[in-house]
Amino acid sequence: MSDTPLTIDNILAPELTLCRVSASSKKRALEFIAEQINHQDNTLSETQIFNNLISRERLGSTGIGQGIAIPHCRLEGLDHVVGVLMTLEESVEFDAIDNQPVDLIFALVVPKEATSEHLELLSQLAEKFNERSFCDRLRQCEDANTLYERMTASGG
């Protein structure tokens, strides 16, 4: 584990920034996230990631309102944080706190022995997503490259 402070910039890879993904449901969106993570690092089990994300959702939806969800889970055997950002082609029902469908998702998969810095990351994300104009700029992206640049641009 490096001493680099955890920030959105250093956990999000361009390869895991996906624009206008077609997902018909919350379950499908979470499956897609697990597939993408496994595609990037095939030592990580797609099934385990998906099951852990679903288990976390059962505790309470990670839909934080205004069309945004931050699904997250811990994963055995992981030694770094993995972030996945995606916008959806069409919003899906996510049992969000405001009952609004979700079209902007940032998934976070953290090591089993996750520390307070992982909670810090979640709060950084929530803070960024709290800014409506920032979310609008993400939703307007037509391609993954632009989406990645806008997400990691300093100062939101």
Which residue segment(s) compose the domain that 100 sits in?
Answer: 11-152
Q: What is the pLDDT of residue 97?
A: 94
pTM score, whole prediction: 0.93
Distance CA 34, CA 107 (A): 10
In a domain, 87, yes or no: yes
In a domain, 4, yes or no: no
Task: Indicate whether 156 pLDDT > 50.
Answer: no
Residue 3 pLDDT class (50, 70, 90 cuts): low
Residues with catalytic roles: 72
In a domain, 103, yes or no: yes
In a domain, 71, yes or no: yes
Task: Indicate whether 155 pLDDT > 60.
Answer: no
Q: What is the pLDDT of residues 8-35, one digit of tens each?
A: 888 999 999 999 999 999 999 999 999 9
Q: What is the pLDDT of residue 61?
A: 95
| CA distances (Å), origin 108, targets 12, 61, 133 | 9, 14, 22
Q: Could you give the number of structural domains in the chain?
A: 1
